[in-house]
Structure 1
């Protein structure tokens, strides 16, 4: 019960908390939550699905079957039977289910960082005579670090956009910074701090009007926000698979390359698996045709197994339904935060407009670093991002409204304990 007198709208908070059971009962995707591994009674609320998604029970069976029947029984023969094609097979599945991409445009390989480097380096090479990479100061460190390294390597300048941390990069800002000297624009579709959802189609068009290529980081949108990469004329994209695609810790990333760019791009890590004939043991490198040229080394076969299960589940639910659930969860979390946390000094650091918001809510308070440790001890798992942001990551297929209510109520109580300490 919310009885603290420091919350002036305690009755409204109680009413909101009471809505959780009804919202769960009306949720058409609620039965799918039973497909995930039960975390046990100690977990009250998992708010970190935007960093590491929960595993599906069917994945346990798939991994055991792989060891016994595929790896154990077929051994090296499995490379010829299925493993060699897995980067493009799973890539096509990701493309169809979550990216809006036709076959032959998506591949699974490497980590997000490595794929960002490969496509960033290939993009600037494809725009000779242009001297700038445009990016924003609020982007995830890896994106900024990779761009910094490529710029130094290629003798390019970095041109910075400084967005409002809670509003994100806008088309107007891009229009001011992208020009005739821009080789590449590198942005995230959903901002990792605030959850701001960028206007991807409009920004892509602006960059193309200036003759630049665009590389989109989809780590916080793939599997939570419907994408239409082909229809939006996206050039390049990279995303991880351990967040909303539930591939597990360290699962490999995916890369997207528009069909018309594939023959033009020359990625810099020329490994044997990206060669036209990997087993020719040739003296010189000749890239494979199509999307396979993005591959460098041996495909991460085991790492691709769990994500297949989640992709099939997303396909069953439908991305539009996933997005509706995401919007409903974040809207409910924001309403609870307004009544439970704002009176305690918390600031909402996420866009209110659902069309400009991904699937996590960012809250700001100076005590959140200490509060996070307290919450973890009590079975509530949010994500802290320095200097004072608490992220409430809501994975639509594994998160329920009652879980959100319990978790926000615990954050309320943790803040009260922090104030009393």
Structure 2
């Protein structure tokens, strides 16, 4: 089959011209920089591009550090994890104020929330999770199960799909203390029905902890209206916080008074500067905090929250669906030998897709060398994660065309 690339380029340009979010691309470093060696960045679901305003905000924070020194803690920094947490909750998570905080890594917060949740169901013996959840989730829960003498109830899933409602219903029982699942599967991009699964768990008397790492900033989330108990997620993917930027934790208001997290640090105490004996948890979401928060690491997140607020989460989701659908269409046209290992139904697809081919392990470094940046997921998956605010349709076409060339088409 002969492919008219000029026609494809014109179609991509038409899509970009009609894209109501296309102007946001100019707000990110490197997106339209002719001097950049990156011609197609398709890894926004691993590490988002930096916003221009974020670098300005970080510079201002350093200036504040320089000028105000230790006074900065009293003037702003002490409350910043909660201030940004409230803003993130309102714009991205569908959460009222006082339930979200920023700090620690996803791994640490996952441990804190899981241990705290399990302590609220002491008579129950099982944790439900799936075989294809992100490795950190599985490893943390395996360790907790060993610590507490609990059983893991595994949901076996197809890596090209994810955990559906019926599979969750079959696994959850009167023995279940906690269900831990990813809202968007890290490999396939499968978008779980968080509201229905949460309701199913509650019907059995269990609590639910959702991992939002691959959904926060790319799909609509309504934690409060879904009656979610706990959630955790990172800020360096679609929230563009930068490498190693701190994660976020959500604890529903109804659980805050009884929630006890296991890493009792001075910043989570009711009066941290009393320096007194014994740990008395702070009121509200501050009790999730342990040690001194990474202030510079959370500054950049505010810029993307502002952009998402301006654009609207629904518009971000619409662009994400259009981009992943476009990548699927290009794959069918230019890569007929490649298997699409992600949901074709947009309603069940998050913000990224995975393509399977036995040559992709060898192809990935060659793509990186030519400035086309996807990521590889074993055993043979090439994961494409366009970021709705910074990825163009023309950029997506460049990426798929390069993959086709590396496969010898």
- State TM-score, norm by structure 1: 0.95
- 2:395 maps to 1:395: no
- 2:362 maps to 1:370: yes
- Residue deviations 1:362-419, cap 9 Å, x none? 00000001100110010100010111000010110000000001111011001117xx
Q: Name the structure 1 match of 2:53.
A: 58
Instruction: Provide the rounded CA distance (Å) in 1 between the counterparts of 2:93 and 2:366.
Output: 38
Q: Name the structure 2 match of 1:303.
A: 297
- 2:39 maps to 1:44: yes
Deviation at 1:124, TM superposition (A): 0.8
Q: Name the structure 2 match of 1:197.
A: 191
- 2:247 maps to 1:253: yes
Q: Name the structure 2 match of 1:184.
A: 178
Instruction: Provide the rounded CA distance (Å) in 2 between the counterparts of 1:306 and 1:229.
Output: 23
> Where does 1:2-401 land on structure 2 (aligned, <5 Å)?
8=1, 10=3, 15-38=7-30, 40-68=35-63, 70-342=64-336, 345-401=337-393
Instruction: Provide the rounded CA distance (Å) in 2 between the counterparts of 1:313 and 1:340.
Output: 34
Aligned to 1:231, what secondary structure does the other structure show? coil
Q: Name the structure 2 match of 1:5.
A: none
Deviation at 1:41, TM superposition (A): 3.6
Deviation at 1:272, TM superposition (A): 0.3
Deviation at 1:16, TM superposition (A): 4.1
Aligned to 1:416, what secondary structure does the other structure show? coil
Off by >6 Å, runs of 4+ in structure 1:
none
> Would the alpha carbon gap of residues 200 and 9 (structure 1) be closer, same or farther in structure 2, given more than 3 Å must change?
farther
Aligned to 1:332, what secondary structure does the other structure show? helix
Are the counterparts in 2 of residues 17 and 336 from structure 1 also a CA contact under 8 Å? no
- Residue deviations 1:57-83, cap 9 Å, x none? 122222222222x10101100100000
For these two proteins, the number of residue pairs brought into alignment is: 406
Aligned to 2:88, what secondary structure does the other structure show? helix
Instruction: Provide the rounded CA distance (Å) in 2 between the counterparts of 1:373 and 1:129.
Output: 50
Deviation at 1:14, TM superposition (A): 6.2
Deviation at 1:17, TM superposition (A): 4.2
Instruction: Provide the rounded CA distance (Å) in 2 between the counterparts of 1:349 and 1:300.
Output: 37
Deviation at 1:341, TM superposition (A): 0.9
5+ residue gaps, structure 1: 1-7
Instruction: Provide the rounded CA distance (Å) in 2 between the counterparts of 1:10 and 1:215.
Output: 47
- State TM-score, norm by structure 2: 0.98
Are the counterparts in 2 of residues 16 and 336 from structure 1 also a CA contact under 8 Å? no
Q: CA RMSD in A?
A: 1.1
Aligned to 2:128, what secondary structure does the other structure show? strand
Aligned to 1:255, what secondary structure does the other structure show? strand
Deviation at 1:112, TM superposition (A): 0.1
Deviation at 1:18, TM superposition (A): 3.2
Q: Name the structure 2 match of 1:4.
A: none
